[in-house]
Amino acid sequence: MSGMELQGLSLIGAQRGAPGGAEFTAFDPVSAEDLPLTFHSASVADAQRATALASTAAPVLAALDGRQRGAFLSSIAAHLESGRAEFEHWVPLETGLPSARASGELSRTIAQLRLFAGWVEEGSWVDARIEHGDPTRTPLARPDLRSMLRALGPVVVFGASNFPLAFSVAGGDSASAWAAGCPVIVKAHPAHPASSERAGLAIRAAIKQCGLPEGTFSLLFDASQAIGSALLRDSQVRAVAFTGSRRGGRALLDIAAARPDPIPVYAEMGSVNPVFVMPQALAARGDAIAAQLHASATQGVGQFCTNPGVMVVPHGVVGDAWVVKLAGLFAGTPVGSMLTRPIAESYLEGIQRLASSAGVRCLHVKAASATGGVPSLFEVDSDLFLSDPTLHEEVFGPCSLIVRSQDLTDSLDIARSLPGQLTATVIADSGDYTASSVLLEVLQEKAGRVLMNGVPTGVEVSHAMVHGGPWPAATAPLTGSVGTAAMLRFCRRVCWQDVPDALLPAALQESNPAELLRLVDGQWRR
């Protein structure tokens, strides 16, 4: 027995949740058939046990040094790698994603954990600041002050539907919370429970290997929303991370804001990710741009938060021909299976809404399908787009709306009319740079990430990445949910005043044992 057998039961610290809750099955969205594995919803008592264990584990994790935290993250990575064959079995079955995607996403998830491991092992991320005291200062002696970032406490992570590994149980939210020193309780997404349980077992093995407290991690299954809601209201939970719909994120935010002690909800809720195609670029290399945007808009059946849902294209004959070209590419795209039935239904509603909007032209909409992601392309004039905010809303799936712009002024108005975005892209040649510069000025106020001559899909996991943005793309634009900057979500700053060196955290001790980069008396130095 490897200890990695799936049982369909929640993981509450080192224990299993009891059977008896509402059952649900893993489901194959391609065949539309149940898979032979039943999952049992956790009870509220399970959730309470998970938060109590997390609360006990919290100070232990907060006190781990960078090397210990890094070892834990690396151990999770290694245990995920050991399960590669199982993930490559379960992920395609549960999600309909191709096995190359499952394999690539697993590699991404592992690389993500290793990035965080290296970052916390180096350790300077705690932003240590030291000011030596001055007993001779008048009228008052200056105290010795030392502050740094510290773990916030138990974090609840909601697994995302569209990334069964990278934004799920051992994904970026969990990795950044553990890196910051926080215990994690994951509410598994019911669309991929087997993949979730398998990832959970890898994490549990890492906890055992590293000798960490069992409350470092729990995984809760639930067919309903009761457990998520109970976790949000639990007084021991200090923050929440979520990737999903705006409606879902808003609901979580409202629950958290109504607590006697409000807590932050870091929700990434998607956006239309506008792409502005500039005239010179369009004239010089329209075919290549069409191919690039078509691939970005339809890959993975369009099920990415950064999918380009709005393309702003110049008015006129060159633009007209380009739109026909792009429509042809959409027409030649096979219908893919969507991740879940609710996503497919919601997508169908979205394209029907666009198709029935007066003034919106259907360039390519195949016959509707109950579960398939039919690639869909629409077109609208800028004046209508500017006057109808419903056209600014994301249709999650392989759907794009082309907005025909009269000129730069029109494009600027379109940019200004948009709500907060995860990304905004400008496709430009050097002859477009002056206009692009003006456009970027507006777009950088609207989006967490601005791109030139690339596509918004493909979110690099790194220190410099921002995957977030102003409302409604996300709830807190100081950070995003991808890369090491995401750790700030799960930290608090604490200051120690005149505390003897031996009682200080190592990161703040005078000898700087880990050789961190620190701000000492106003100067950054190691």
Shortest distance, position 485 Cβ to a copy of itself, whole Å: 6
- Least distance CB 43 / a copy of itself (angstroms): 28
Q: How far is the CB of 359 from a copy of itself (least distance, A)?
A: 25
298: how many CB neighbours lie within 10 A of its CB? 23
**Count of C-beta atoms within a 10 Å radius of residue 472:** 19
Q: Which residues from 332-391 bind a copy of itself, rule CB under 8 A?
A: none
The region of 33-41, 144-152, 166-174, 272-280 touching a copy of itself under the rule CB under 8 A is 144-152
Select the span of 6-14, 125-133, 352-360, 401-409 touching a copy of itself (CB under 8 A): 125-133
Size of the site for a copy of itself (CB under 8 A): 81
Least separation in angstroms between residue 212's CB and a copy of itself is 18
d(CA 185, CA 158): 9
Indicate the residue among 299 and 382 with the shorter CB distance to a copy of itself: 299
Question: Judged by CB under 8 A, does residue 447 bind a copy of itself?
Answer: yes
CB of 67 to a copy of itself, least distance (A): 18
Residues 96-115 that bind a copy of itself (CB under 8 A): 104
Residue 130 CB contacts under 8 Å (≥ 6 apart), including other chains: 145, 146, 508, 518, 519, 520, 521
Tell the smallest beta-carbon distance from residue 453 to a copy of itself (Å): 6
| Whole-angstrom distance, CA of residue 54 vs CA of residue 58 | 6
Q: Are strands 145-151 and 491-497 parallel, antiparallel or unpaired?
A: antiparallel
Least distance in angstroms from the C-beta of 468 to a copy of itself: 8
Stretch that binds a copy of itself, among 219-227, 315-323, 383-391, 477-485 (CB under 8 A): 477-485
Neighbours of 438 (CB within 10 A): 14
**Residue 308 interacts with a copy of itself (CB under 8 A)?**
no
Only segment of 64-72, 141-149, 183-191, 211-219 that touches a copy of itself (CB under 8 A):
141-149
Point out which residues pair with 277 in neighbouring strands. 427
User: Binder to a copy of itself among 160, 327, 466, 514 (CB under 8 A)?
Assistant: 466
Q: How far apart are CA 229 and CA 252, in angstroms?
A: 8
Dmax of the chain from CA atoms?
82
- Of 483-522, binders to a copy of itself (CB under 8 A) are 485, 488, 491-500, 502-503, 517, 519, 522
Tell me which of 94, 182, 197, 305 is the catalytic residue.
Answer: 305
> ∠ CA 385-391-393 to the nearest 5 degrees?
140
CB atoms within 10 A of CB 372: 22
- Nearest distance in Å: CB 440, a copy of itself: 6
Does residue 199 belong to the site contacting a copy of itself (CB under 8 A)? Answer: no
Question: Which of 184, 465, 507, 514 lies at the binding interface for a copy of itself (CB under 8 A)?
Answer: 465
Q: Measure the N-to-C terminal CA separation of the chain; round to a whole number of Å.
A: 48
Alpha carbons 18 and 8: distance in angstroms, whole number: 10
- Three-state secondary structure of 215-251: HHEEEECCCCCHHHHHHHHCCCCCEEEEECCHHHHHH
Q: Which stretch binds a copy of itself (CB under 8 A): 30-38, 76-84, 388-396, 465-473?
A: 465-473
* 3-class secondary structure, 89: helix
**Closer CB to a copy of itself, residue 203 or residue 442?**
442
| Residue 384: Cβ-neighbour burial (10 angstroms; 0-12, 13-18, 19+) | middle
* Contact track, a copy of itself, 389-428, x by CB under 8 A: ------------------------------xx--------
- Residues ≥6 apart with Cβ < 8 Å to 4: 83, 86, 198, 201, 202, 205
Using the minimum distance from each CB to a copy of itself, give the nearer residue, 31 or 437.
Answer: 437
H/E element holding 345?
helix 341-355
CA 225 from chain centre, in angstroms, equals 20
Shortest distance, position 320 Cβ to a copy of itself, whole Å: 28
Listed residue (150, 191, 170) closest to 29, CA to CA: 191
468 backbone dihedrals φ, ψ, rounded to 5°: 180, -160
Q: Exactly one of 105, 197, 214, 268 is catalytic; which is it?
A: 268
Q: Which lies closer to a copy of itself via its Cβ, residue 19 or residue 505?
A: 505
394 given a catalytic annotation: no
Closest CA to 96 of 301, 299, 245: 301
Task: State which of residues 155, 212, 450, 507 lies at the interface with a copy of itself (CB under 8 A).
Answer: 450
Q: Which of residues 145-174 bind a copy of itself (CB under 8 A)?
A: 145-147, 149-150, 152-153
Question: Judged by CB under 8 A, which of 57, 130, 206, 360 binds a copy of itself?
Answer: 130
Cβ of residue 448: shortest distance to a copy of itself, in angstroms?
A: 6
Judged by CB, which is closer to a copy of itself: 106, or 202? 106
Return d(Cα 95, Cα 90) in angstroms, integer. Answer: 8
Is position 495 annotated as part of the catalytic site?
A: no
- Residue 59 contacts a copy of itself per CB under 8 A: yes
Is there binding between residue 451 and a copy of itself (CB under 8 A)? yes
d(CA 335, CA 398): 9
Residue 322 φ/ψ region, left for φ over 0, alpha for ψ in the -120 to 50 degree band, beta for the rest: alpha
CA distance 256 to 449: 27
CA-CA distance, 373 to 307, in Å (whole number)?
14
Among 303, 405, 479, 481, interactor with a copy of itself by CB under 8 A:
479
Q: Which of residues 211-270 bind a copy of itself (CB under 8 A)?
A: 253-254, 257-258, 261-264
Active-site residue set: 268, 305
